[in-house]
Chain A
Amino acid sequence: MHQLDGRTKVLTVLGVFGLALCFSDPFYLLGVFGCVMSGLAMSRAGANVRKMWMLTVLLFAYSVALWPFFVQGVTPFPLLHSFGVTWEGVRVGMGMGLRLLIMLWGGIWLLSTTTIEELAQAFQQLGLPSRAGFVFSLAFRWVGMLLGAGVGVVQAQRSRGLDVSTGGILQRIRKYVPLVVPLIGHALRQTNLLAMSLESKGFHPSATRHFYSTGKLMTPDYAVMSVMLILVVVSVWLRWQGVGTLDMRF
């Protein structure tokens, strides 16, 4: 999976998003979800999955809990029917939750198998302006630095007695000022330096970026893209036929 070209990975993930949008029935979406999970297993992305599983389960739970209140149905759901909850609504909630999970895990698969440089390069090869790709990769690089600096800022302010876990909600929000301000100040003070450094190394905003490490699409890339294309075409046809979709009336 890691050896695939960046373009293949981006297009595959877009294909997965397309598959998720084709269906609303949780049974069909479960099949797509299984494919995504297989991809994740083959990519050895366990570390990233472990980091994010709690958040995604939470989002799934939100979806299952919220949608039934907005979708009409005919089969009463035990205990909650007085609030308008029906089995059809719960089914829609599960479908939407699975759709959300597919999209999130698809994104995690992409980011687990692709470096930021590969991603920027793939975006440019797929038509995104090179400067946008550069800003994306530069910002990504800076996020790591800022999170590191952020740890220092939090420690420095905690050492001076700042405790953001106490007080009312407004107080708590205000207590973030001593954390946010040094972080932003730290970043902004680097603006001129980084701009000067980039131009000193030969960067010029109007220049065309030429990637030297451009990979070629190989047989596995064509195979993966072909399979994904077939899946998308079949799914669109099924959707056209009304298969795998639920009747969602609000």
Chain B
Amino acid sequence: MPLPQADRDSRRWWADLIAVWRDTRQIVLTAQIAAIYAAILIPFKAGIPIVPGFVELRPANAIPIVASLLFGPAAAWGAGIGNIIGDCFGTLGPASVLGFFGNFFFGYLPYVLWGHMGWLSSGQPPLGKSWRQMMEYGVVCVIASAACAGVIAWGVEWLGLLPFVILAPAIFFNNVVMGMLLGPPLLGFLYPRVQRWRLRYEDIRESDSSNVHPSRPLQSHESMVSEVTNDYLSRAIVDCHGLSFQYAAGSQPVLRNVSFSLASGELVVLLGRSGSGKSTICYACNGLIPHMIPGTFSGMLRVEGKSTVDDPVWRQAGRVGLVFQDFDTQLVATTVEGELLHPLEYRDPPLSSDEVRRRVVHALSQIGLADCAHRDPMTMSGGQRQRLVMASVLVQEPALLVLDEPGSDLDPAGRAQLREVLRNLQKEGIAVLMTEHDDGYLAQADRVLVLDQGEIAWEGKPEALLRHPQLMRDCGLRPLALTECFEEWGVEPLPISVEEAWTQAEALNLRLYPPSAVLDDTLRLGNIPERSPTMALPLIHVEGVSFQYEDQVVLDEVSFTIQPGDFLALLGQNGSGKSTLARLLNGLLTPTHGRIVVDGMDTRTTSMNELAKRVGLVFQNPDHQIFADTVWEEVAFSAKNMGCSKDEIAVRVQESLAAVGLPFEGSRDLDPFSLRKGERQRIAVASVLATRPAVLIVDEPTTGLDPDETDRMMAMIRQLNQQGHTIVMITHSMRLVAAYARRCLLMHSGRMIAEGTPREIFADAALIRAASLEIPAISRFSQRWGHTLLTVEEVKASLMPGPP
């Protein structure tokens, strides 16, 4: 809701500009606007002009106007600072000061002028929906551009660097052209999204007075609770009673009457499907809810005896450390040591230098990065960066560490390192509350809380949960494969480790007798169609391919072929060269040595467009490609680029949406960003399918998805394969490879160390270990009888009573 005019006016001019520096969100926005501006500016500073020889014509110059109309005064500071950062990549000098002021006005005037130009003003939001809005936008754009050009060109001439008459028109022309051409489409896309994210200046101002509701009296805890261990309560670090919360934009509570406690040194895992309220509990633990995330809050949550509602978030950093799922976003420094020092630099009163040194050294040793103090975080692996973020909160020495899905972006090696860190923290008496989609960390947990639709559906020892597969399924969790194998044998208790499964099998005198349907993969993959003579020819031929970035060899002498209709898994840990190989297959990169032939065409000499018609690549993060206002436009984008007719585009959009299981009806009005990540991933797949590629490469398609979403995504990919698409799936999930792939390539340090069926690859334990991966428990179980089985269904079909 817009602010009353009187209130807006009272906060105008200098007050608004200064208020930016008193609000964390506006400070972050300022930095982001500066970074966006600089990031789009820099390639053109380095000489990639749209018009050769005219480096001033660059798309970045639409950013200050757009940002100003969305974010108000933060855009002024952001544009000024962004220009200086851009200058740091080549043109830093005294003129940078003038650039700061010029861009400051460029980013400030649109906000000041919009709606305040008398009869010229449309009285509407800054969108190009009517001629009056367009006219207002044009006037604003011209005035801001002129102010920017005038300030910079006057100053540069005063410094004796370039004549005013040369520079002023160049800057003015560039600003107006870019502002007029790129501004309206950018605003059209960003305005509704920024409104949804509550980042418009009005929204930020409005949320200054946050929506904190006082705690209501304690309500009874009605959830199903088993094995509540009351001794924890006596030494509780966290004490939560009757916590309920509804987001300001939500239609129903996301937490309902949640009660739990955590003791010192205890590791508790929160499980549940996406949207069950896990992250909301994390955010409540240090007061982000309700201080920074508005909504209706009731109940009580205390950490170390203090209510999380009473103190501002920053004051709770010494009690609670919170690590978010997206760890890269939380890094703010260019060295590991700087990352740890930063949180301590805002302590009041400051710590002594000796104490700071001790804390930094201790935090780094806690997370196993003691030797990395002077490294740049961006040169470290994903697992190391995540542990660094943990260290940056542990340096405040909190009693409680909260981790929101810490393992979702990690490969098996990263997950193993994280488990080691958790063991260390437990030994030191730090309470840990972490959320997860799967069972990866349950072995170390003291307790599990299972959330379902905002309520605690189950609480108890992890072992008890793992031995109840039906309960796990009911709560949207994936049961252990081994447990499922023994479910129908009426075993009590059900096994949860390979050793227990062997013992149970012996006790029941069970042996594995795999039928032919298992050994020939019919049970796992269905009937494989007979290959016609044309299908016997390779669709993709990779011959001795190497690739290197500057001096770093990323791929080394890789050779293999892909047959039509294949389902190939590229398997390996992060950094093994899988994603580079995928980019080579669709021509985004060309080999340094060797060659790749796709459908008879050499990727070195074939255009990207031609290759895109044959090899579609779906990137891991769908948000790196979604840009359109509607699902329909997004899916149609690639078909338009291929030059298809309108009718053809409509047919392809319908066909692609149907293939990924999304409705065609309503797609012309549906905003892709209003959908969940799993659905956005489907849109990304549909968009690539619209080119009708013979080969579809999917890069980590299930990252961040819960078990139900993962199953839906994989079912869709399998269906595409059955419809005739050749699938190449990049993953480090052994379970997905075991369940879906016909063939896999095992990559390690840029080399292909094995190629074969999953059964062949998984049979070689030494090979899997060499690639820093782990054989699924179900396969290890079966190997005792000389077979490598891959799925629950295969084991169930093979498990039979042995001879007496």
Contacts and interface: CB of A to CB of B under 8 A. Distances in A.
A210 B345 contact: yes
Interface in A152-207: 152-153, 155-163, 169-170, 172-174, 176-178, 180-207
B624 interface: yes
B517 to A, nearest CB: 38
Nearest to A110: B92
B159 A21 contact: yes
A152 B624 contact: yes
Contacts of A204: 24, 312, 314-315, 346
8 contacts: A106-B92, A141-B332, A145-B328, A146-B35, A147-B42, A192-B293, A193-B324, A202-B317
B339 to A, nearest CB: 10
Nearest to A151: B624
B276 interface: no
Contact of B32 (A117, A190, A201): A190
Contacts of A155: 583, 588, 619
Given A66-B166, A103-B93, A211-B345, A200 B638 contact: no
Contact of A24 (B45, B160, B625): B160
B655 interface: no
A36 to B, nearest CB: 12
Contacts of B165: 70
A52 B45 CA distance: 10
Interface stretch (A75-83, A130-138, A222-230, A233-241): A130-138
A101 B574 CA distance: 43
Contacts of B189: 177, 181, 185
Q: Which of A108, A115, A143 has the most B CB atoms < 10 Å from its CB?
A: A143
Given A135-B34, A202-B344, 4 more contacts: A138-B28, A184-B36, A196-B324, A199-B313
B92 A188 contact: no
B553 interface: no
Given A115-B335, A145-B328, A17 B94 contact: yes
Interface string A101-137: 0011011101100011100000000000101101111
B575 interface: no
Given A21-B159, A111-B92, A186-B623, A143 B356 contact: no
A180 B353 contact: no
B63 to A, nearest CB: 8
Contacts of B344: 202, 212
A173 B60 CA distance: 11
Contact of B95 (A103, A149, A205): A103
Given A159-B688, A185-B623, A210 B350 contact: yes
Nearest to A208: B348
B314 A140 contact: no
Interface residues of A, number: 102
A191 B286 contact: no
Contacts of B82: 139
Contact of B45 (A55, A157, A173, A176): A55
Given A147-B42, A181-B627, A139 B35 contact: yes
A178 B638 CA distance: 11
A61 to B, nearest CB: 11
Contact of B178 (A24, A173, A181): A173
A177 B182 contact: yes
B670 interface: no
A191 B317 contact: no
A123 B393 CA distance: 26
A187 B266 CA distance: 36
Nearest to A157: B625
B761 interface: no
Q: Which of B84, B286, B338 has the most A CB atoms < 10 Å from its CB?
A: B338
B96 to A, nearest CB: 8
A35 interface: no
Q: Which of B331, B623, B627 has the most A CB atoms < 10 Å from its CB?
A: B627
Interface in B585-635: 586, 588, 608-609, 612, 616-617, 619, 621, 623-627
B781 interface: no
A201 B292 contact: no
Given A155-B583, A202-B314, A188 B190 contact: yes
A209 interface: yes
B21 A196 contact: no
A148 B95 CA distance: 28
B608 A189 contact: no
Q: Which of B31, B315, B335 has the most A CB atoms < 10 Å from its CB?
A: B31
Interface of B: 21-25, 27-32, 34-36, 38-40, 42, 45-47, 50-51, 59, 62-63, 77-78, 81-82, 84-85, 87-88, 90-96, 159-163, 165-166, 177-178, 181-182, 185-186, 189-190, 193-194, 197-199, 283, 286, 288, 292-293, 312-318, 320-322, 324, 326, 328-335, 338, 341-348, 350-351, 353, 356, 378, 392-393, 396, 583, 586, 588, 608-609, 612, 616-617, 619, 621, 623-627, 637-638, 641-642, 673, 687-688, 691
A58 interface: yes
A7 interface: no
Contact of B190 (A103, A169, A181, A203): A181
Contact of A185 (B85, B190, B347, B637): B190
A117 B393 CA distance: 19
Contact of A199 (B85, B92, B314): B314
A135 B77 contact: yes
B345 A212 contact: yes
A244 interface: no
B345 A136 contact: no
Nearest to B86: A143
Contacts of A190: 32, 326, 329
A74 interface: no
Contacts of A67: 163
Nearest to A156: B625
B288 A196 contact: yes
Contacts of A141: 35, 331-334
A179 to B, nearest CB: 8
Contacts of A70: 163, 165-166
B329 A193 contact: yes
B642 A142 contact: no
Given A161-B642, A205-B27, A52 B90 contact: yes
A90 interface: no
A144 interface: yes
Given A155-B583, A159-B586, A159-B617, A139 B27 contact: no
A100 interface: yes
B429 to A, nearest CB: 21
A193 to B, nearest CB: 5
Contact of B286 (A147, A150, A177, A200): A200
B580 to A, nearest CB: 11
B393 A201 contact: yes
Contact of B619 (A152, A176, A209): A152
Nearest to A176: B59
B234 to A, nearest CB: 28
Contacts of A139: 30-32, 34-35, 38, 78, 81-82, 85
Nearest to B346: A207
Given A55-B46, A155-B583, A161 B186 contact: no
A184 B288 CA distance: 25
A115 B334 contact: yes
A180 B627 CA distance: 9
Given A117-B335, A136-B85, A189-B197, A161 B160 contact: no
A148 B93 CA distance: 26
Nearest to B625: A156
A193 B59 contact: no
A170 to B, nearest CB: 7
Q: Which of B185, B314, B609 has the most A CB atoms < 10 Å from its CB?
A: B314
Given A135-B77, A180-B186, A196-B292, A55 B197 contact: no
B291 to A, nearest CB: 8
Contacts of B317: 199-202
A94 interface: no
